[in-house]
């Protein structure tokens, strides 16, 4: 049947394998079995974004969980990091998020969190997958009072809002700050405006009227140009665009210009270094982050450690190295002192607090990092093998790296979600690196067609 879990849970077109009610029910049964590892009654928290198909998946996975004698706590539309927070706060056995993040509304997905609010390691996902495809649980059928119950949690949103507000410094407010907020018609359409307004911001809100089909449609993190236009029209201080499940945020400055995720991580890391709060003076980024980030942080005594692409791999690297700040170019940022996963609203609060502390605009702070030119070429492939086993590829990469002479990088990897190989090259000469990337892409296309 193929592997269910990708780099961020199970994902696909809703009501088409693997995102069917049947698979969701089996996943619920498998997850409930795996997480029943303590004495007493068991509970799993379920939240979702605003997709129409959320009703279908929610009911199916809840039925699977209840069929294993585990109770379900339904919270309705809630950002992914909100579910991680509630799972740990309520000491539940696990958390489930039904969302396809930034994908269009016809897609959906299922992400799982452990009882401490972290995404699952590969070996736990593999065990759940094994249970889905086997008959191991067929004989496990609680009856009578042992069947699980489902409860709806009415104050979930309020708990998460108060948690976020407590993380904003008590000695400052957002009074006098005008902010454009794009909620992507997604899971944060109520939470995010409430948090920022109660901290004093004047808001211009868009993407806060979900109808089940308009999530991420020409709005949100994939379309920061909407926030940029509104910032210019309103003379706002900045714009914040969330994605469908609000685990990441994308920013535009006071001119309406997009500020890259690397620049945001850089300004946050620099502020934390200056305050002595960045553990080991180290930021964890992925292999896709720009080399300019390394140079900018080195100038103030910091450094960058890189992980595989995917926010859960960033978190794993942070935990193993004892670091407290990490993120991705895409807008995922993890503040391990406060949260266990990427949180777009928390990221926005950290950026806003930094602007207040520094007394500068976002464009001024973003200039603290000068990115190297970067080119990315995607190659559709018909087969996969370890990158270093592709005939003729290793010497070709080596030649390009030698030509860059330490002032650039070459990265070739396979996509975790599509039949693509990705070629990324950084360097000081844009035309030169584009030519290198195309040569490598052409070679991959020939060898892996």
DSSP 390-444: STTHHHHHHHHHHHHTTS-EEEEEE-SSSSEEEEEEE-S-HHHHHHHHHHHHHHH
Catalytic residue among 53, 67, 99, 101: 101
pLDDT-based confidence at 3, cuts 50/70/90? confident
CB count, 10 Å around CB of 392? 10
Q: Is 101 a catalytic residue?
A: yes
Q: Among 136, 154, 172, give the residue marking a domain's end.
A: 154
76-105: string of b/e by CB count within 10 Å (b at 16+)? Answer: bbbbbbbbbbbbbebebbbbbbbbbbbbeb
CA atoms within 13 A on the CB side of 113: 29
Residue 251 phi, psi (nearest 5): -120, 150
Average pLDDT over residues 308-335: 95
Total count of domains within the chain:
4
Reply yes or no on whether the pLDDT at 435 is more than 80: yes
Closest CA to 70 of 115, 100, 105: 115
Residues 218-247 pLDDT 10s? 999 999 999 999 999 999 999 999 999 999
Domain of residue 336: give its range.
260-357
Please report, for the domain that includes residue 325, its CATH number.
Answer: 3.40.120.10
Write down the pLDDT at residue 380.
Answer: 93
The fraction of the chain above a pLDDT of 70, given in percent, is 99
pLDDT-based confidence at 1, cuts 50/70/90? very low
CA-only gyration radius of the chain, Å:
22
CA gap 386, 418 in Å, rounded: 16
Q: Do 254 and 265 share a structural domain?
A: no
Q: Do 180 and 105 share a structural domain?
A: no
Residue 3 lies in a domain: no
Reply yes or no on whether the pLDDT at 339 is more than 60: yes
Q: Do 170 and 121 share a structural domain?
A: no
Q: Do 323 and 233 share a structural domain?
A: no
Reply yes or no on whether the pLDDT at 163 is more than 60: yes
Write down the pLDDT at residue 417.
Answer: 66
Residue 368 lies in a domain: no
Write down the pLDDT at residue 230.
Answer: 98
Q: Do 16 and 148 share a structural domain?
A: yes
Q: Do 291 and 248 share a structural domain?
A: no
Q: Among 154, 183, 204, give the residue marking a domain's end.
A: 154
Residue 4 lies in a domain: no
Q: Do 387 and 353 share a structural domain?
A: no
Tokens of 47: 């939240």
Q: Among 232, 258, 284, give the residue marking a domain's end.
A: 258
Residue 76 lies in a domain: yes
Residue 2 lies in a domain: no
Average pLDDT over residues 390-396: 95
Q: Do 99 and 60 share a structural domain?
A: yes
Residues 102-119 pLDDT 10s? 999 999 999 999 999 999
Average pLDDT over residues 345-372: 97
Tokens of 215: 């999530």
Q: Do 234 and 270 share a structural domain?
A: no
Under 8 Å between Cβ of 43 and 70: yes
Q: Which residue is it, tokens 């309103």? A: 234
Average pLDDT over residues 194-207: 98
pLDDT-based confidence at 171, cuts 50/70/90? very high
SS (H, E, C) 329-346: CCCCEEECCCCCCCCHHH
Write down the pLDDT at residue 37.
Answer: 74
Residues 17-63 pLDDT 10s? 999 999 999 999 999 999 987 667 899 999 999 999 999 999 999 99
- Reduce the DSSP state of residue 202 to 3 states and report it: strand
Q: Do 313 and 240 share a structural domain?
A: no
Residue 382 lies in a domain: yes
Q: Do 254 and 272 share a structural domain?
A: no
Which residues have C-beta within 8 Å of that of residue 171, sequence separation ≥ 6?
A: none
Residue 362 lies in a domain: no
pLDDT averaged over the chain? 95
Integer angstrom CA distances of residue 297 from 263, 300, 313, 329, 425: 11, 6, 21, 16, 21
């Amino acid at each position: 049947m193929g592997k269910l879990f990708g780099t961020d849970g199970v994902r696909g077109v809703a009501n088409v394998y693997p995102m069917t009610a049947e698979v969701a029910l089996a996943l619920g049964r498998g997850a409930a079995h795996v997480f029943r590892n303590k004495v007493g009654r068991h509970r799993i928290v379920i939240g979702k974004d605003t997709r129409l198909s959320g009703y279908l998946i929610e009911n199916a996975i809840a039925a699977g969980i209840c069929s294993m004698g585990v109770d379900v706590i339904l919270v309705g539309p809630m950002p992914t990091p909100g579910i991680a927070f509630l799972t740990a706060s309520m000491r539940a056995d696990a958390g489930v998020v039904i969302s396809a993040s930034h994908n269009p509304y016809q897609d959906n997905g299922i992400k799982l969190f452990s009882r401490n609010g972290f995404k699952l390691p590969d070996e736990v996902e593999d065990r759940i997958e094994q249970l889905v495809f086997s008959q191991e649980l067929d004989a496990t059928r609680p009856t009578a009072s042992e069947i699980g119950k489902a409860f709806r949690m009415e104050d979930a949103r309020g708990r998460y809002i108060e948690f976020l507000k407590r993380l904003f410094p008590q000695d400052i407010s957002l009074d006098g700050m005008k902010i454009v907020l794009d909620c992507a018609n997604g899971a944060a359409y109520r939470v995010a405006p409430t948090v920022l307004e109660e901290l004093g911001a004047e808001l211009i809100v868009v993407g806060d009227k979900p109808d089940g089909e308009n999530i991420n449609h020409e709005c949100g993190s994939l379309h920061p140009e909407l926030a940029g236009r509104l910032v210019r029209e309103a003379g706002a201080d900045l714009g914040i665009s969330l994605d469908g499940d609000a685990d990441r945020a994308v920013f535009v400055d006071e001119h309406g210009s997009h500020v890259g995720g690397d620049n945001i991580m850089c300004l946050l890391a620099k502020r934390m270094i200056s305050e002595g709060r960045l553990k080991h003076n180290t930021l964890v980024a992925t292999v896709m982050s720009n080399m300019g980030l390394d140079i900018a942080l080195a100038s103030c005594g910091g450094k960058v450690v890189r992980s595989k692409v995917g926010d859960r791999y960033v978190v794993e690297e942070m935990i193993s190295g004892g670091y407290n700040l990490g993120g991705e170019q895409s807008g995922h940022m993890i503040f391990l002192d406060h949260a266990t996963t990427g949180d777009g609203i928390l990221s926005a609060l950290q950026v806003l607090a930094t602007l207040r502390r520094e007394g500068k605009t976002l464009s001024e702070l973003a200039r603290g990092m000068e990115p190297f030119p970067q080119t990315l070429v995607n190659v559709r492939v018909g087969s996969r093998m370890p990158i270093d086993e592709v005939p003729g590829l290793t010497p070709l990469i080596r030649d390009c790296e030698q030509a860059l002479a330490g002032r650039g990088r070459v990265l070739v990897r396979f996509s975790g979600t599509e039949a693509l190989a990705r070629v990324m090259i950084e360097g000081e000469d844009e035309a030169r690196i584009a030519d290198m990337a195309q040569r490598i892409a052409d070679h991959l296309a020939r060898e892996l067609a």
